[in-house]
Structure 1
């Protein structure tokens, strides 16, 4: 028992080092824009901090409620003395650690001839290598692995999907019983679907297909059908659980499905792939993904037991179905294809067979790997910290001016989100469109209660204003990439809300 505890603890320590190394590398690249400053990426921090502040709230969310992500961020905010960027950097590390935990569940229990801890760590390393090849600042790039480090782009859903695969595998490996595992599977499906309906597409559909096919071929089909039923019921409960949140869901996501645009979708994703292959690191990332898919197919053919076969099969079936489904529905968002990044990694834990090496050689390899990971993790802490503490004098200029004014202003989505998060009272910056109508999207609708503003914040992303009244600013405050149009005592009325 002690050896097991030591081995598992060593795995978590190694995972922490890998997470620090990967997070520091991604944060040091242009991808840091998505970690710290992207308008979409800030919703979890905004929602969590608003929740901790207390008081009534009336949020306008997308189809995703970000419940697990917000819970984790609020917990970090409550116990750590970090600023927002420090918390976002910490959350990136936590997300990777959570992924390791899910991979460890997929790898199965330790038994003779198996090394699940080592292979789970290797799978996290492979995923980290994929994330390290992501270097652009674009949220629309086909750079999917690094999205796991953000608090917004479905990190909890990714963990939920992988964890579901692991619970299915462990139930199959167990043979008999497994009520606790089935209950856990249903709970994960329900919570994940409640927060993000994409879980049904990423996990429920592929797993149901693989389980249904397995039920036709295996004598223990009752267990396969039971797993399928629990997964389906849990997903259904998740959808029902969304009903009380209906007022907060500004977009159900149904409008994203446009099957008649499938040709445009092919062209869109094809263009993203071409862009990905236009850089050396992009080529490396694609080749690594293809190698993992090939290994998954190989492991499917050579599987030694039902559990290993299921994991290996899902490693290539899941991304295949998701990509086909995304195209068939005419979608245009790279983030929907994330299973193409994380699912192939599951091939590494499908059959975590221990290497047959002399004990002395094995110990030396483990020692060398441990030392390298510890050194890399230790060196990555100040590197990651430095990215979170990078000065932004333009942002500081805006936040200090807004806080000192004590008044309420407005700005457009891509411009105002970052200053809104960093000012003392987020309600003092209202999110509007170019006509000064309230833009109720990923924001607390109570911000619109004042009904008027006295200054506007703009930058290069701001669409030309079309104000509802004639007004000339008394002063224009230049804050680097931002400009503050101060109308003094004049009041600009807000228009009706829309999402």
Structure 2
């Protein structure tokens, strides 16, 4: 079968897996994180703000979501609506992860069955994601976070891609040298050096967490490989230089960063951090299928250690680097997260995606006598997988019940022609679904502009005339002598609109 046909079949199979995984996530309680979580909607809010030609003055976290926003904007051109676009983005994220795994699996001319290895990795990742059903962003359910646009999906893909580019560079040098250690010491894989530098620069520019997930652990691995492979030093140099360039590139964007993230680290809290992550692990272990997923990840981590040893003995340096990253990256990230006293499950995503690297090198270690798959069998299996995913997955996604309460708020606000406000966890979902997101302003309980993951241009309106509240809204302390009893209450299911009519409520100064 021609190489292009094999690659196309690999992408088609990856698409089938991705549709199935997103369908499972979208039809489970985890859909709360995909479609309705306040944090998850920031990229959609950016797209809608751009669509109405609003001046852009965002208050972001340390993560700028630049690749995610660019992809979501392109997907929004299909006109699928907010939920449809987010669903499509989840599929694209997983297909992109397959692409990164495919790069890490090596070139077809050098590696053995690289497409199969990448598909096995994505399949296991998808199986783990499909077992994650908690609606909580704080659960230790890390694989399904890649289906969202705001929990570092681009950083996940970038980290795996960086490992893959390093492997390609080392493989290319050794291939040109005929596998000779002496011949490979003087060559420099300039293309791979530039590529890994570009990935690092773009990733750090958007999310400095890339430095912890990829730059530090991969540089450690390359430093050891550099004892026998000169190319490793060049690749490590490209990785570090690109990361530094990414940090420099963030300086002109400092006005967009409301929180640098420095406050999230407190090394004195390492014991509390250990207890926190331990409690999350215990909770995950007790969840349905949770123990199975934990065991799978643990086995993959152990396999990465074994595969690394076997590949080093075979002097397959490129594949050994990939396998080494499969166990070094999670180890460095977990130890670092605890040592810094962090308390956020999303920081530990490498625990799930990095061990997949052990699967992409699995074909290299299988017996050479295995029979080759026939073309008809491969094409048929791919067609069946894609058809099943589309036939079963899309109806499950489309069957999501409409949110009548949300529609009530959106319709009322749209017809009012006025501007209202609400607190972070309450207002962001209705705000995202409005034709013009400026009609709802994000405030705190004292009606001060809450400048967090929102366009600060919203606060220029100066005053509002109604409030959107729900069960999780803390009680408002309104300015002057106004109280909530002065408002006419409009019920919208789980929401209530407190309408003050012609009486304007002035917005207080911004806070973050």
- RMSD over equivalenced CA pairs, Å: 1.6
SS at match of 1:483: strand
SS at match of 1:430: strand
Q: 1:477: which partner in 2?
A: 490
CA positional deviation for 1:180: 1.8
Provide the rounded CA distance (Å) in 2 between the counterparts of 1:356 and 1:66. Answer: 44
Provide the rounded CA distance (Å) in 1 between the counterparts of 2:26 and 2:297. Answer: 22
Q: 1:291: which partner in 2?
A: 299
Provide the rounded CA distance (Å) in 2 between the counterparts of 1:23 and 1:130. Answer: 12
Shift in alpha-carbon separation, 1:113–1:211, aligned structure 2, 3 A: closer
Per-residue CA deviations over 1:303-354 (Å, capped at 9, x if unaligned) read 1311111111110110111011111111110000000010001101135337
Q: Return 5+ residue gaps in structure 1 as ranges.
A: none
CA positional deviation for 1:465: 1.1
Q: 1:162: which partner in 2?
A: 160
Q: 2:441: which partner in 1?
A: 430
Q: What's the TM-score once normalised by structure 2's chain length? A: 0.93
Contact kept in structure 2, 1:206 and 1:317, CA below 8 Å: yes
Mapping of residues 74-473 of structure 1, within 5 Å:
74-78=73-77, 80-111=78-109, 114-175=112-173, 176-216=187-227, 218=228, 220=229, 222-303=230-311, 304=314, 305-353=316-364, 356=368, 359=371, 366=378, 369-387=381-399, 390-471=401-482, 472-473=485-486
Provide the rounded CA distance (Å) in 2 between the counterparts of 1:210 and 1:432. Answer: 47
CA positional deviation for 1:365: 5.9
Per-residue CA deviations over 1:468-489 (Å, capped at 9, x if unaligned) read 2222333100100000000111
Shift in alpha-carbon separation, 1:180–1:17, aligned structure 2, 3 A: same
Provide the rounded CA distance (Å) in 2 between the counterparts of 1:37 and 1:63. Answer: 22
Contact kept in structure 1, 2:143 and 2:349, CA below 8 Å: yes
Moved more, 101-110 or 47-56: 47-56
Contact kept in structure 2, 1:23 and 1:384, CA below 8 Å: no
CA positional deviation for 1:111: 3.1
Contact kept in structure 2, 1:469 and 1:492, CA below 8 Å: no
Shift in alpha-carbon separation, 1:415–1:113, aligned structure 2, 3 A: closer
Provide the rounded CA distance (Å) in 2 between the counterparts of 1:270 and 1:63. Answer: 26
Provide the rounded CA distance (Å) in 2 between the counterparts of 1:301 and 1:478. Answer: 64
Q: Return 5+ residue gaps in structure 2 as ranges.
A: 174-186
Per-residue CA deviations over 1:1-55 (Å, capped at 9, x if unaligned) read x710100000000000000011101111100001100000000111122224334
SS at match of 1:280: coil
SS at match of 1:441: coil
Provide the rounded CA distance (Å) in 2 between the counterparts of 1:201 and 1:40. Answer: 22
Provide the rounded CA distance (Å) in 2 between the counterparts of 1:184 and 1:380. Answer: 38
Q: What's the TM-score once normalised by structure 1's chain length? A: 0.96
CA positional deviation for 1:358: 6.5
Provide the rounded CA distance (Å) in 2 between the counterparts of 1:30 and 1:55. Answer: 34
Provide the rounded CA distance (Å) in 2 between the counterparts of 1:169 and 1:103. Answer: 11
Mapping of residues 13-28 of structure 1, within 5 Å:
13-28=12-27
CA positional deviation for 1:133: 1.2
Per-residue CA deviations over 1:186-225 (Å, capped at 9, x if unaligned) read 1100000000000000000000111112223x1x2x2111
SS at match of 2:132: coil
Contact kept in structure 1, 2:110 and 2:171, CA below 8 Å: no
CA positional deviation for 1:101: 0.3
CA positional deviation for 1:150: 0.2
SS at match of 1:289: helix
Per-residue CA deviations over 1:144-193 (Å, capped at 9, x if unaligned) read 00000001000000000000000001001111443222111111000000
Shift in alpha-carbon separation, 1:225–1:409, aligned structure 2, 3 A: same
Contact kept in structure 2, 1:413 and 1:431, CA below 8 Å: yes
Shift in alpha-carbon separation, 1:43–1:112, aligned structure 2, 3 A: closer
CA positional deviation for 1:402: 0.4
CA positional deviation for 1:461: 1.1
Contact kept in structure 2, 1:170 and 1:181, CA below 8 Å: yes
SS at match of 1:242: helix
Provide the rounded CA distance (Å) in 2 between the counterparts of 1:208 and 1:396. Answer: 50
Provide the rounded CA distance (Å) in 1 between the counterparts of 2:346 and 2:6. Answer: 35
CA positional deviation for 1:81: 2.1
